[in-house]
Amino acid sequence: MLIPAPALDFNELPHTGVRCTAVVEIVRLPVLRDNYVFLLIEPAGSRAAVVDPAVAEPVAALLQHRGLELTVVLQTHHHHDHIGGTPELLARWPGTEVWAASSDQTRIPFQTRGLAGGDQLELFGRPVEVLSIPGHTSDHIAYYLPATAQEGAELFCGDTLFGGGCGRIFEGTPAQMLASLEQLAALPASTRVWCAHEYTETNLRFAITQDSENQALAERFELVKHQRALGEATIPSSIGLELATNPFLRCRQPALQMVSGAVDGADVLAEIRRRKDVF
C-alpha cells in the first residue's frame, strides 16, 4: 500500500536532504513509506530534473517553492512507485522530456526520449551515461554522471543496488542481476549511490547473518542503526562502501560462497537473494 510521507518543510531541506555542488544541486525528497525522489537543479539557473517521481505533489511543491521549471524526468524502470507522479507533473509542466528505456515503451508510454545502455546524454552541462542493468525488471536502466573537475561521480540506480542489498529479481535472472551489479561495482569507488528506497538498516541486519565475520559490515550496521534512530537518511552510499559491506557485491568472495553452499557467482546471488526474500 502506498502511504503518503509527512508534509515537508522546504526551509529545512538544506539541513536534511540537500547536497549543494558546484555543478548541480541534488535534493533528496522522502515520499510514500520509504521511497526517495531526487531532484537535480541547474546551478545558478531556473531548471530542474527529477528522478523517478513516485508522486507529484512534493516535487511540484518544491519546484514552486524554488521558482524552478521542470524540464526532464529520468525514469529507471516502470514500477508505479517510480512513475506514479509523472503524468501529473507532465500536466503541470507541458513539454517536459521523459527519459526512459526505449524497450519499455509499453509500460512507460509517456516517454519522449527512448534510451539504451551506452547512450551518452547531457543534463545541465553535465555528461550522463545510461547503463543497462536488468534483473529487478527486464528493462531497468541507471543514470551515471561521471566525475568532472568540479564534482564527484553520481549514480542513480533505482531498485537494482540498495544500501547493503539489491532489488528483488522480478523479471530477470540471477545471472543478469549479478552482471548488472558487477557493472555498477566497477564504477569508481567514490561514486555516490542514490538508490530509490531507505532499506539500508533492514538490508544490513540480513547481511550480517550471511557475512558474520565482516568487520566493516558490523561497523556500518551500528552506524546505520544510529542514523535511523535519529531519523537520518542513509542515502547516498558509495560504491566503495557497498563493495566492502554489501553481500550482493561480494558473491565471488569465499565467505559468501561458503555460507551459500555455492561457487558460481550467480548461484551464490540466487541463494542469498532467496534467503533475503523470506528474511
Q: From first to last of its 279 residues, what are the pLDDT tens digits of the chain?
A: 333 333 444 444 433 344 444 578 999 999 999 999 999 999 988 999 999 999 999 999 999 999 999 999 999 999 999 999 999 999 999 999 999 999 999 999 999 999 999 999 999 999 999 999 999 999 999 999 999 988 999 999 999 999 999 999 999 999 999 999 999 999 999 999 999 999 999 999 999 999 999 999 999 999 999 999 999 999 999 999 999 999 999 999 999 999 999 999 999 999 999 999 999
Q: Is 82 a catalytic residue?
A: yes
Task: Answer yes or no: 119 catalytic.
Answer: no
For 23, the domain range is 13-200
Beta bridge partner(s), residue 36: 30
Residue 163 lies in a domain: yes
Looking at the structure of the chain, the number of domains it has is: 1
Pick the catalytic residue: 52, 104, 139, 159?
A: 159
State the pLDDT at residue 8.
47
Of 78, 136, 139, 140, which one is the catalytic site residue? 136
Whose cell is 551506452? That residue is 118
pTM score of the predicted model: 0.92
* Strand intervals (E) in 81-209: 97-101, 113-115, 120-123, 126-132, 141-145, 154-158, 161-162, 165-166, 192-195
Cα separation, 60 vs 33, in Å, equals: 19
Identify which of 145, 172, 143, 164 has the alpha carbon closest to the alpha carbon of residue 243.
164
Per-residue model confidence (pLDDT) at position 23: 75
Residue 52 forms part of a structural domain = yes
Find the CATH number of the domain harbouring 69: 3.60.15.10
CA-to-CA separations, 106 to 13, 101, 110, 114, 139, in angstroms, rounded: 36, 10, 9, 11, 11
Considering 52, 77, 78, 104, which one is annotated as catalytic? 77
Which one is catalytic: 52, 78, 104, 197? Answer: 197
Is 140 one of the catalytic residues?
Answer: no
> Is residue 236 reached through a cis peptide bond, with omega within 30 degrees of 0 on the bond before it?
yes
Q: What is the b/e burial string over 136-163, where b = at least 16 CB atoms within 10 angstroms of the residue's CB? A: bbbbbbbbbbbeeeebebbbbbbbbbbb
Q: Is 136 known to be catalytic?
A: yes
**Candidate list 52, 82, 104, 140, residue with the active-site label:** 82
Q: What gap in Å lies between CA 124 and CA 117, rounded to an integer? A: 20
- 211 given a catalytic annotation: no
In a domain? residue 73? yes
Cβ atoms of 262 and 151 closer than 8 Å? no
Catalytic residue among 81, 104, 139, 211: 81
Q: Which residues of 216-254 are buried (b: 16+ CB within 10 A; e: fewer)?
A: ebbebbeebeeeeeeeeebbbbbbebbebbbbbbbbeee
C-alpha of 141 from chain center = 10
Query: Is residue 63, in this structure, part of any structural domain at all?
Result: yes
Spatial CA neighbour of 208 closest among 255, 274, 278 = 255
pLDDT number for residue 22: 56
Tell me if 257 is assigned to some domain.
no
Q: Kindly name the residue from 52, 78, 79, 104 that is annotated as catalytic.
A: 79
- Whether 277 is covered by a domain: the verdict is no
Residue 151, in any domain of the structure = yes
Within a domain: 119: yes
